Structure 1
Amino acid sequence: MGIPFEALLPYGIMIGMFAFTGGALGQLRWMQNGGKRPRHGLDAWDRTAVMERDRRLTGFARGQTDRAEAPPGFELNNPWRVETRFL
């Protein structure tokens, strides 16, 4: 005597939804990183200085460029924000 397939349909639907959600989240993370694998073990220097500079240069936090000339906007390459009252 076999198991009725109607009893297994909800489990198949749940497993399918978990698989779809995991794949969609993985694809979204891959797209947010510019097609690269996500980084782990970042310290404060990587997040604030290096990745911010890369984001300003290329538009992606993981992007890197080999251009020798800096793009417009890098006349003062200082990531620190200054209050307007001190200018």
Structure 2
Amino acid sequence: MGVPFEALLPYAIMTGFFAFSAVSLGKLKEMQNGGKRSRRGVDHWDQVVMERDRRLTGFMRGQTDKPFAPPGFELNNPWRCEDRFI
């Protein structure tokens, strides 16, 4: 005896919603990264460089080819020194 298709509709709807949410979240992450894929395995150096890129361009993954920094960037240093060295 076959399984009526009405019994499989809830599973199809749940699978469809899971697929829709996965695609939506992936697209949202891609939009937040400026149209690039999200990065995995980011170490401390990559975080520092991405923070620098964010301060230069406004995007974590943005890059610029301008030879000079924008005004005020020379005093905006992410590296912090101890008070005794200042």
TM superposition score normalised by structure 1: 0.82
Partner SS state of residue 15, structure 1: helix
Q: Give the equivalent residue in structure 2 for 1:67.
A: 66
- Aligned: 1:35 with 2:47: no
Deviations 1:43-84 (Å, cap 9, x if unpaired)? Answer: 11211x2111000011111110001121122132411468xx
1:32 positional shift: 1.0
Distance 2:42 2:34 in 1: 17
Residue type of the alignment partner of 1:70:
A
1:2 positional shift: 3.8
| Matched ranges for 1:1-87 at <5 A | 1-47=1-47, 49-80=48-79
Q: After the TM superposition, which parts of structure 1 deviate over 4 Å for at least 4 consecutive aligned residues?
A: none
Distance 1:11 1:44 in 2: 43
Distance 2:66 2:56 in 1: 10
- Which structure 1 segments of 5+ residues have no match? 83-87
- Which structure 2 segments of 5+ residues have no match? 82-86
Partner SS state of residue 34, structure 2: coil
Compute the RMSD of aligned alpha carbons: 1.7
**Percent identity between the two aligned chains:** 73
1:5 positional shift: 1.4
